[in-house]
A and B are shown apart, each in its own frame.
Chain A
Amino acid sequence: MERPRPILRPEGPIVVETVGLNVHYGSFHALREVSAAFAANHITALIGPSGCGKSTYLRCFNRMNDLIEGARVSGQVLLEGEDVNTPETDVVELRRRVGMVFQAPNPFPMSIFDNIAYGPRLQGVREHSRLEEIVERSLRAAALWDEVKDKLRQTAIALSGGQQQRMCIARALAVEPEILLMDEPCSALDPTATFHIEELMLELKQRYTIIIVTHNMYQASRVSDYTGFFLLGELIEYDRTEKIFEGPADPRTDDYIRGRFG
């Protein structure tokens, strides 16, 4: 048995942490004994080569792995101290508290307004003025309001890729989550759109805790406060972003950020 790695506990309040988290896909051990704590109102980046388990890890926080055939998750995910990885957990409620933005923008084929109002309507908000208020607030928070305020009734499919992704962020914000998970949110976007999203993330961390999976190490170093490096399903190193990028403790982290593999 390996000895357990020391867990970095960021200063300040912790919103969510995992304790000894394992994920198996059938006989494949995708995530091994991952323990980490995440600081409120900070951005944490998860980096590592493809297939290292970082997306799998991200999907544990809102139980999206439940949807994957043959996936088994064991260990604890403590959201404000309470384990949400139990059969009794209300997954619907959990997903309202932990929002997610996906790799490819996934606007619903309906109007921009209906996209943003989707979550609030699920929660029973019917009053139109209230919905209008939520839509405007969410689009403003996602820095998209000025671009779309005159075409809220038009289909969201017609937006550009970058706008679609910001709309998806707005849609996630509309249910007022505590945590925002972002799974390579810029991988389908051009540099300008990526820049917009990064600016937006720095803006959003005032109010939300953000955990982002990214392939782009520059992005991780630009936006994140903490960085976790995954390799073959293990969290190899987790520390302040400057520490990871300027003097990582583990040689494998050093190899990866210097582009020697992955």
Chain B
Amino acid sequence: MTALGESQLLTPSADRGRSRARGLHRAKLVEKLAFAGLWLAAAVTVLPVLLILAIMTAKGARALTWTFLSSVQEGIFPAVVGTVLLVGLTTVIAAPLGVMAAIYLSEYARPGPAVRLIRLAIVNLAGVPSVVYGLFGLALFVTLLHFGRSLLAGACTLALLVLPLVISASEEALRQVPRGLREGSLALGATRLQTVRKIVLPNALPGILTGLILAIGRAAGETAPILFTAAFYALSSPFPKSLLSPVLALPYQIYVMATEVPNVPPEHKWGAALVLVLVVLGLNLVAIVLRTRMRAKRRW
């Protein structure tokens, strides 16, 4: 005790002041360095997006003529139609399934082994590589269920791929609806289902839609899941005649143009890729706008 007191007394106060100033100086320097490092990390994540857009625009913008977009023989029109059909059917399958699963998990399920198992499955489903979905779709939908290589088989496979996305986004949106609203509805003599239909779902809808659009964007860009299940490249039958016909699709067409077909003008490859990227980015943009508007509107 005494020794400590003495040593403090012996330390000249001016010296202590100086060392504290030095310490402060160092702290400020470290702060600046840390800020620079963090900023750089953030910038690096933006850079690739800008680069991708810039390069593809530079190389592909010239190809974006009306003929390129709308011609069956010389353009990518069948692939665009195919992708729209695939994505549309995927949504029709995944949206009700995903939203209903989310409603079950958020509004009905009681915590227990069953729910833990479902959540584990969803997390794992989200982590499965897309090529595995492709092979699984080939085995289940194409072969076992005899859908053949078709629009239906591809959409089913894509639906499985986006299901975890739809479920987690919907569950999150449902959870955002305040507990007070649910209790208020139940206290007025509403059943659980009436409460979900009249109070919970309408208020969660914007969030659910946002998740859905992001999922659609994901489905539109995936190649591997449709590689064995739906996509083909034959201009002899550019448009599918039924749910059981194979389809052309943008991601697959890009893949084929880049790897298998000789003499494709390079700007066509880039042009097709640019269209795909613009479609996906556009969808994401819609989702972001929707989310912002919803946030601005929501005042409980």
Contact = CB atoms under 8 A, between A and B. Distances in A.
B111, B186, B191, B194: most-surrounded residue (chain A CB, <10 A): B186
Contact of A106 (B178, B190, B198, B299): B178
A181 to B, nearest CB: 8
A99 B187 CA distance: 6
Given A69-B110, A122-B194, A108 B184 contact: yes
A122 B180 contact: no
Interface in A61-99: 62, 64, 67, 69, 92-93, 95-96, 99
Interface in B137-155: none
Given A102-B184, A108-B184, A95 B189 contact: yes
A92 B191 contact: yes
A14 B186 CA distance: 26
Contacts of A62: 187
Interface stretch (A30-38, A167-175, A222-230, A231-239): A167-175
Contact of B188 (A67, A109, A122): A122
Chief secondary structure at chain B's binding surface:
helix
Interface residues of B, number: 22
A76 B70 CA distance: 74
A245 interface: no
A108 B182 CA distance: 9
A140 to B, nearest CB: 19
Contacts of A104: 180
Interface residues of A, number: 24
B64 interface: no
Nearest to B187: A100
A208 interface: no
Contacts of B181: 106, 108-109
A172 B198 CA distance: 17
A175 B178 contact: no
A171 B203 CA distance: 19
Interface of B: 110-111, 178, 180-191, 194, 198-199, 203, 298-300
